């Protein structure tokens, strides 16, 4: 039997505006671009809501109503949910309706969609807690399965997440880690006792997410019956097919006129044509299946680019400089107890900022350019570092900072 | 194939990028076994020994010099001033007379020499090219390194120059533009159909920039960050935007030194501007530099800025990158089509320019990433690739003119 496990990542960062050096010390709003550029967060959110979230939610709700056993899961970043509350409450409501069916599971992640696990385990735990609270507040559910930002994963993360009480974790089914093994089973992360690992079937996932409308692809056009046939081929040598992708695949990366919504609409009926197939949520899969073996992932992997590593966020000196600079402020920022200041600092931790600074363009060029709202990675870096400099001034100028310095001097 | 090529300057006696481009292109063409007859109007004269040194072994490029006081890259107004310096010489009274004189000599030359195709660089040689075509019946290709609109910054376009450019281009069999930026201008301002124009970006050869001396190391050791402008100080190159951006930078960070390398009709005005902004001690006018001196300036700098108002191509940023310094270039340039790893700005946006300059001087990581990537990127911007495109284009034009392959010289 093959179970399909759908998981959609839904995330929008707070993009930094064209913050110039002359704004430092004068303007502490970093994320409020109001131009026509694609760094205008409100504009982007509304655009994507209309092209993707609202129509895709409508299709999924229709499917959940039609098929009582149809199931899906979502991972919403906290910064995304916050933007829904600010800019599009109607979209938030439509997500709430899906979750209210009881068949759309919500996964845990860091509130700020950050790389905090790599730089500060304490901050990581705080952000996971914040996310838990936000999901509880908006959806009334408590996640039990964790997925880290952009499926960044290694053994240490699995151990940490197990300690935090989660029963499952999600990662990329990268070839360099799996080797001859199949992503279509559950695994046990090395060094853990009971947490279970679900791995993305990246071939089938990317057939939908990346290749769906590609005319150069030999399988074009992809239809629901064809895809169901590929799923059926797994039957007998796998238990679960994890289809993990950006939710924006539907309507935003693959536009409506590619037929992506019709594909989604007809997929369950084709899958159900084979009596052994069904749909599961990640936590159901964890209940139902046992790990087939241990998986040792020492180095970080992710779902980004062909390398499936950290290089999308951390491969050039600018990216390292920027991320080190933001985490270096941790102690000082937190000690101000200034919520706005702390929130701005955390919004600057979102992984997208570092992704925009990526200069690894020539192999993965198109993807990086497509996802970059800045003209160049250099402009992304410049705006970010200027904003960070302002943030630093706010910390140093904060009354509690002066107090702290005094205490230090006395002692 | 033999090409009769009309130019007007050649290193080391060049005032700008055109001579460098002709040098790079002809050398690459001869490496690809194209026989080039290079015609040069001569005033001060290109050192024959220089050419012999470079081409003696192959002798594929032969230089023909014509007496004339042509000066490229100057507007026709400043030409008159330039020309007056050579009072001892007796030449035509106006620039147009000089141009026609060059064309007359071309007429004689085209009668004598045998060749397959004519290739003329920029407007001063266009009439010569047209004349050679009339006499020989061979196809004519015009190479646009700059239009009158670039040279004048769009202000005070000289009608006669414009007419020569326009009529010659209509008369030509094919046109090579140094960028899409220039191609668009030709279509828009000269009414040439886009199909008649191909784009061949200029190139650069690393081997020409070896062993750069460390001439400015003491200046560098003072600890100040150095930002360099190198180009003619004329309206086209946007020096005033550089000076204004310098002012904005210095408001925030006084530890930056601005070098202006070049000369031109706006030099005095720029010196005055820096003085009136109160930044004379941070803006140094070093005069016209060439060769090792210019390369040393590139190397000493932390950032090279090209704020051109309208730059058909712009070879200097590539030279700077090879010498070891990343670049900030105006979006109104052809070179920005071939380098993605550059900081880019609108020439008029001095706030943005200053913002980017300040970021480069304060973040080493930005400098490293930018320079490292640009250094890799420009490896593919070479004259060999450009010459290949030219040769393919020669073939295409010869074929379009119905000239069979068997008739080619060599």
Q: Which residue in chain A has the smallest CA separation from B358? A: A21
Residue A273 carries which DSSP code? T
Going from the C-alpha of A24 to that of each of A328, A384, B227, B405, the distances in angstroms are 19, 11, 22, 66
Check the CA dihedral B84-B86-B89-B91 and report its sign.
Answer: negative
Q: CB of B336 within 8 A of CB of B347?
A: no
Nearest residue in A to B352, CA atom: A20
User: Band of the pLDDT at B390, cuts 50, 70, 90?
Assistant: very high
The residues with which A240 forms a beta bridge, in sequence order, are A3
- Please give chain A's pLDDT, 411 residues, in tens: 689 999 999 999 999 999 999 999 999 999 999 999 999 999 999 999 999 999 999 999 999 999 999 999 999 999 999 999 999 999 999 999 999 999 999 999 999 999 999 999 999 999 999 999 999 999 999 999 999 999 999 999 999 999 999 999 999 999 999 999 999 999 999 999 999 999 999 999 999 999 999 999 999 999 999 999 999 988 778 999 999 999 999 999 999 999 999 999 999 999 999 888 999 999 999 999 999 999 999 999 999 888 899 999 999 999 999 999 999 999 999 999 999 999 999 999 999 999 999 998 654 456 667 778 898 899 999 999 999 999 999 999 998 887 776 666 666
Among candidate residues A234, A182, A183, A226, the one with its CA nearest the CA of residue A208 = A226
- Using the beta-carbon criterion (under 8 Å), do B363 and A381 form an inter-chain contact? yes
What local confidence, expressed as pLDDT, does residue B63 receive?
63
Note the pTM of the prediction, 2 decimals: 0.89
Do the Cβ atoms of B345 and B352 come closer than 8 Å? Answer: yes
Q: Taking CB atoms and an 8 Å limit, are B352 and A20 in contact across chains?
A: yes
Q: What angle do CA B360, B363, B365 make, to 5 degrees?
A: 105
CA distance A20 to chain B (A): 6
Catalytic site includes residue A150: yes
Q: What is the CATH number of domain A3-295?
A: 3.20.110.20
Q: What is the pLDDT of residues B305-363, one digit of tens each?
A: 999 999 999 999 999 999 999 999 999 999 999 999 999 999 999 999 999 999 999 99
* pLDDT (mean) for B280-286: 96
The fraction of chain B above a pLDDT of 90, given in percent, is 62
H helices of A7-120, in order, are 41-48, 54-66, 78-87, 89-100, 116-119
Residue A234 zone, left/alpha/beta (φ > 0; ψ -120 to 50; rest): alpha
pLDDT of residue B409: 75
* pLDDT at residue B407 is higher than 80: no
Q: Once rounded to an integer, what is the mean pLDDT over residues B382-406?
A: 92
* Domain spans, chain A: 3-295, 317-410
For B257-326, the DSSP string reads EEEEE---TTHHHHHHHHHHTT-GGGEEEEE---HHHHHHHHHH-SEEEE--SSBSS-SHHHHHHHHT--
Residue ranges of chain A whose CB lies within 8 Å of a chain B CB: 20-22, 316-318, 320-322, 359, 361, 375-379, 381-382, 385-386
Residue A80 and residue A134: Cα distance in Å, rounded?
Answer: 11
Of the candidates B160, B81, B153, the residue with the CA atom closest to the CA atom of residue B124 = B160
Catalytic residue among A82, A109, A150, A252: A150
Neighbours of B291 (CB within 10 A): 10
Contact across the interface for A20 and B343, Cβ inside 8 Å: no
pLDDT mean over B247-275: 96
Calculate mean pLDDT across residues B6-14: 78
Among A177-186, A277-286, B3-12, B257-266, name the one with the lowest average pLDDT.
B3-12
pLDDT per position as a tens digit, B189-202: 999 999 999 999 99
| Residue whose tokens read 């609202």 | A54
Residues from chain A that touch B244, judged by Cβ atoms under 8 A, are none
B238-260 average pLDDT score: 97
Whether residues A21 and B355 touch (CB distance < 8 A) is answered with yes
Chain A residue numbers with beta carbons less than 8 Å from the beta carbon of B354 are 21-22
Cβ atoms of B103 and B40 closer than 8 Å: no
The Cα angle at residue B46 between residues B42 and B49, in degrees rounded to 5: 145
DSSP state for residue B2 in the 8-state scheme: E
Please give the pLDDT value at position B39. 85
Mention every residue, 6+ apart, whose C-beta is less than 8 A from residue B207.
none
More reliable by pLDDT, B35 or A406 = B35
| B18 inside 8 A of chain A by CB | no
Measured distance CA(B219)–CA(A147) in Å, rounded: 54
Q: pLDDT value at position B46? A: 52
Instruction: Judge whether residue B51 has pLDDT over 70.
Output: no
> What domains lie within chain B, and their CATH numbers?
2-203+382-407 (3.40.50.2000), 206-380 (3.40.50.2000)
pLDDT range class, residue B67, cuts 50, 70, 90: low
B364 at A interface, C-beta within 8 A = yes
What SS3 state is found at A86? helix
The pLDDT value given to residue B138: 95
The partner residue sitting opposite A318, judged by closest CB among B340, B362, B366, is: B366
Residue B45 — left, alpha, or beta (φ > 0 → left; ψ -120 to 50 → alpha)?
left
| Cβ contact B115:B3 at 8 Å | yes
Q: Predicted confidence band at B65 (pLDDT cuts at 50, 70, 90)?
A: low
Mutation target vs B (from A26, A322, A378; most B CBs, 10 A cutoff): A378
Q: Which residue of B has its CA nearest to A315?
A: B369
Distance CA B389, CA B338 (A): 15
Residue B290's pLDDT is 83
Residue of B nearest to A379 (CA): B343
Q: Is A378–B252 a contact, with Cβ atoms under 8 angstroms apart?
A: no
Mean predicted confidence (pLDDT) in B170-180: 97
pLDDT category of residue B60 using cuts at 50, 70 and 90: very low
ipTM above 0.85, yes or no: yes
What whole-number distance in Å separates Cα of residue A86 and Cα of residue A306? 35
Tens-digit pLDDT profile for residues B353-389: 999 999 999 999 999 999 999 999 999 999 999 999 9
Q: Which has the closest alpha carbon to B384: B205, B207, B166? A: B205
Q: Per-residue pLDDT for B74 more than 60?
A: no
Nearest to A358 by CA among B407, B57, B303, B369: B369
Angle at B232 between CA B226 and CA B235, to 5 degrees: 105
Which pLDDT does position B48 carry in this prediction? 33
Tokens of B164: 């020569």
The residue in chain A having the minimum alpha-carbon distance to the alpha carbon of residue B327 is: A378
Contacts of B280-286 with CB under 8 Å at 24 or more apart are B282/B246, B282/B250, B282/B254, B282/B256, B282/B257, B282/B258, B283/B243, B283/B246, B283/B258, B284/B257, B284/B258, B284/B259, B284/B260, B285/B260, B286/B259, B286/B260, B286/B261
DSSP for B108-140? HHHHH---SEEEEESHHHHHHHHHHHHHH---E
Q: Do B351 and A317 touch (CB under 8 A)?
A: no
- A-chain residues within 8 Å CB-CB of B368? 317-318
Return the SS3 of B200: coil
């Amino acid at each position: 039997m093959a179970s399909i496990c759908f998981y959609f990542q839904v995330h929008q960062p707070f993009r930094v505006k064209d913050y110039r050096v002359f704004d430092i010390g004068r303007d502490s709003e970093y994320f409020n671009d109001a131009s026509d550029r694609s760094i205008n967060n409100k504009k982007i959110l509304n655009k994507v809501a209309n092209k993707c979230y609202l129509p895709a939610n409508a299709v999924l709700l229709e499917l959940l109503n039609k098929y009582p056993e149809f199931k899906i899961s979502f991972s919403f970043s906290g910064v995304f949910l916050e933007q829904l509350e600010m800019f599009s409450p109607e979209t938030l409501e439509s997500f709430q309706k899906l979750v209210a069916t009881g068949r759309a599971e919500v996964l845990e992640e860091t509130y700020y969609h950050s790389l905090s696990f790599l730089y500060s385990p304490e901050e990581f735990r705080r952000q996971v807690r914040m996310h838990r609270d936000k999901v509880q507040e908006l959806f009334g559910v408590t996640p039990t399965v964790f997925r880290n930002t952009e499926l960044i994963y290694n053994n240490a993360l699995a151990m940490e997440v197990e300690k935090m009480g989660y029963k499952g974790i999600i990662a990329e089914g990268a070839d360099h880690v799996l080797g001859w093994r199949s992503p279509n089973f559950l695994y046990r992360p090395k060094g853990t006792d009971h947490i279970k690992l679900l791995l993305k079937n990246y071939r089938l996932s990317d057939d939908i997410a990346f290749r769906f409308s590609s005319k150069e692809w030999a399988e074009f056009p992809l239809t629901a019956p064809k895809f169901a046939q590929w799923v059926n081929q797994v039957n007998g040598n796998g238990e679960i097919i994890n289809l993990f992708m950006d939710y924006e695949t539907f309507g935003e990366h693959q536009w409506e006129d590619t037929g992506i919504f019709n594909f989604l609409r007809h997929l369950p009926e084709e899958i159900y044509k084979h009596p052994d197939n069904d749909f599961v949520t990640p936590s159901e899969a964890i209940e139902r299946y046992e790990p087939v073996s241990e998986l040792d992932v020492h180095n970080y992997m992710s779902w980004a680019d062909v390398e499936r590593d950290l290089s999308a966020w951390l491969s050039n000196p600018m990216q390292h400089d920027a991320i080190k600079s933001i985490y270096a402020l941790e102690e000082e920022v937190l000690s101000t107890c200034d919520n706005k200041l702390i929130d701005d600092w955390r919004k600057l931790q979102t992984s997208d900022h570092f992704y925009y600074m990526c200069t690894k363009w020539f192999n993965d060029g198109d993807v990086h350019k497509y996802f970059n709202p800045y003209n160049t990675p250099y402009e992304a870096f410049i705006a970010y570092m200027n904003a960070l400099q302002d943030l630093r001034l706010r910390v140093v100028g904060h009354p509690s900072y002066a107090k702290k310095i005094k205490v230090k001097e006395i002692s | 194939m033999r090409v009769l090529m009309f130019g007007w300057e050649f290193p080391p006696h060049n005032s700008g990028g055109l001579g460098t481009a002709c040098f790079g292109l002809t050398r690459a063409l001869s490496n690809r076994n194209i026989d080039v007859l290079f015609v040069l109007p001569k005033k001060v004269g290109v050192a024959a020994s220089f050419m012999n040194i470079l081409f003696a072994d192959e002798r594929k490029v032969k230089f023909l010099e014509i007496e004339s006081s042509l000066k490229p890259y100057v507007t026709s107004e400043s030409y008159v001033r330039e020309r007056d310096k050579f009072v001892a010489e007796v030449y035509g009274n106006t620039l147009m007379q000089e141009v026609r004189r060059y064309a007359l000599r071309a007429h004689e030359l085209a009668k004598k020499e045998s060749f397959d195709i004519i290739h003329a660089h920029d407007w001063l040689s266009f009439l010569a090219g047209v004349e050679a075509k009339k006499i020989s019946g061979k196809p004519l290709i015009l190479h646009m390194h700059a239009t009158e609109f670039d040279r004048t910054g769009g202000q005070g376009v000289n009608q006669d120059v414009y007419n020569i450019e326009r009529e010659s281009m209509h008369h030509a069999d094919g046109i090579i533009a140094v960028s899409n930026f220039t191609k668009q201008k030709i279509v828009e301002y000269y009414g040439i159909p886009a199909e008649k124009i191909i784009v061949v970006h200029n190139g650069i050869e690393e081997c020409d920039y070896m062993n750069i001396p460390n001439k400015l190391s003491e200046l560098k050791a003072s600890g100040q960050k150095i930002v360099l402008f190198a180009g003619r100080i004329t309206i086209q190159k946007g020096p005033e935007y550089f000076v204004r951006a310098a002012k904005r930078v210095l408001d925030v960070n006084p530890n930056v030194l601005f070098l202006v390398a070049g000369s031109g009709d706006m030099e005095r005005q720029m010196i005055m501007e820096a003085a009136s902004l109160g930044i004379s001690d941070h803006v140094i006018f070093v005069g016209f530099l060439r060769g090792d001196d210019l390369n040393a300036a590139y190397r000493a700098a932390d950032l090279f800025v090209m704020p051109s108002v309208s730059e058909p191509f712009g070879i200097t940023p590539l030279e700077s990158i090879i010498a070891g310094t990343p670049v900030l270039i105006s979006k109104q340039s052809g070179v920005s089509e071939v380098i993605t790893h550059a900081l880019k700005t609108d020439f008029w946006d001095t706030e943005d320019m200053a913002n980017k300059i300040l970021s480069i001087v304060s973040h080493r990581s930005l400098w490293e990433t930018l320079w490292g990537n640009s250094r890799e990127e420009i490896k593919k911007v070479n004259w060999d690739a450009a010459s290949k495109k030219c040769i393919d284009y020669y073939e295409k034009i010869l074929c379009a003119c119905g000239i069979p392959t068997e008739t080619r010289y060599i």
